[in-house]
Amino acid sequence: MTTASDLADELEGDDAERCIACALVLNPDDLVLCEIDGGYIHADCCGPERESYFKGAGEPLGPDDPIPTPFRYGGDDKQDPARQALTGEA
């Protein structure tokens, strides 16, 4: 059985950026976080465990560090502080 999600994926093509956890196409209003290897992950795919998150240039969160705040995928919102720290962009 073909789902609406399957059809949307086919329409998006193979060039569409996808969540590294669930492989669904990222849409402009999806709440995401940066993945340490350069992709994006849906905030809901991360789970509540602290081990799912990192800070700065990829170091694990410390016991007093807040869990990162998700941002909307697309446009200028893709430039979150964690991504900038990983890529050296300002």
pLDDT at 30: 94
Query: Quick one: pLDDT at residue 44?
Result: 94
pLDDT digits (tens, 9 = 90+) for 3-62: 555 555 555 556 889 999 999 999 998 999 988 888 899 999 998 888 888 887 788 888
User: What is the structure's pLDDT at 85?
Assistant: 52
Given a cut of 70, is residue 1 above it in pLDDT?
no
Q: What value, to the nearest 5°, has the Cα angle with vertex 15 and ends 29 and 7?
A: 70
Residue ranges making up the domain that contains 78: 4-87
pLDDT of residue 54: 86
DSSP state of 18: B
Location of structure tokens 């059809």: 7
What is the pLDDT at residue 49?
Answer: 86
Beta strand segments in 1-90, E = 31-34, 40-42, 54-55, 59-60, 71-72
Say what the pLDDT of residue 2 is.
46
How many structural domains comprise the chain? 1
Residue-wise pLDDT for 14-29, tens only, equals: 688 999 999 999 999 8
